[in-house]
Structure 1
Amino acid sequence: MSTGSALSSEPREFKERQGFNRRRGALRRRVHQVNGHKFMATILRQPTFCSHCSQFIWGLGKQGYQCQVCTCVVHKRCHESVVTKCPGCKEDNDSSLLAGRFNINVPHRFVVHSFRTPTYCNHCGSMLYGIFRQGLKCAECDINVHKRCQNNVANNCGINAKVLADVLQGLGISGE
């Protein structure tokens, strides 16, 4: 018999390589928190519009920020100007804290609508697909959303968020 056979009596030792189990070269994605929104830079795989300023989001790579809770999409330049509170974030129980804050709570009245032209969701920024009954339209302020986005839309009916953010910034008041 040979001395190097698999049936040798001495036990084998396995040594763990240093750093082998760690995430090599992985970058942690940064979370930007504004009014309860948890924005992260994201790659947009289809044409998308900003839910804050309603302009098209241009560029390659990570062009926009998407809230990980309510899925709204905004420009990188707009994410700090968002004045609406994230509908998916938990409420603060401290009433004294809420009393001094700026607050908007005007709910939308959504009805099912069939759009005749290609239309984009005012919340997530992506297109409303289908031939008829593609999405919902607010009867008061005419914003268009997917059925899946309805519960994530902030209660800001009739309020232009960009104009409000500009006015608050001019007054030196934070939307948070």
Structure 2
Amino acid sequence: MTPDQCLRAVAAMEASWKRDAQALVTLTRPVDGEAPLALVLAEFAERALQQLAAAHLDSRLAQEAGACEESLRNDPVLTATVLLATTYHCWSETAAEHDVLAAASLARCILIGLAGLTDVDPADERVEELIAWLRERALDGTWSEQQGRPDADAGRA
């Protein structure tokens, strides 16, 4: 996933959150062989969820030095992360290539899902802070390169 694809995904989540139909139409229209927006959103969500889950796991392992594998397998945050990523991918595969409504709904649900893994309430104006944090990560290559993990509090805007 390229940094441009990551920024496109974040822009779609922001446009969906702000209900900016014109921006969503523009972002949904692929340019020169770009992947459909729904697929870009699902891939971005998977990478972001992996990073947030890794930060959660790191903090959990630090708290439970000898945490057993069974405990981790039953961790509700890790389970939710896998379920969300799978749901987003399945949803993206059923969306028509230029379906603005499907992309907008998916973008909004991804943003709500990511907020759910932080202390940001989706009904809160702090969602803007989460969007800014996601944009920063897109610009620094966190999502595109799978390098570096946000620290345990990084997603807590």
TM-score normalised by length of structure 2? 0.26
Relative to its length, the structure with more strand (as a share) is: 1
Larger RCO, structures 1/2 (Cα 8 Å, 6+ apart)? 2
Relative to its length, the structure with more helix (as a share) is: 2
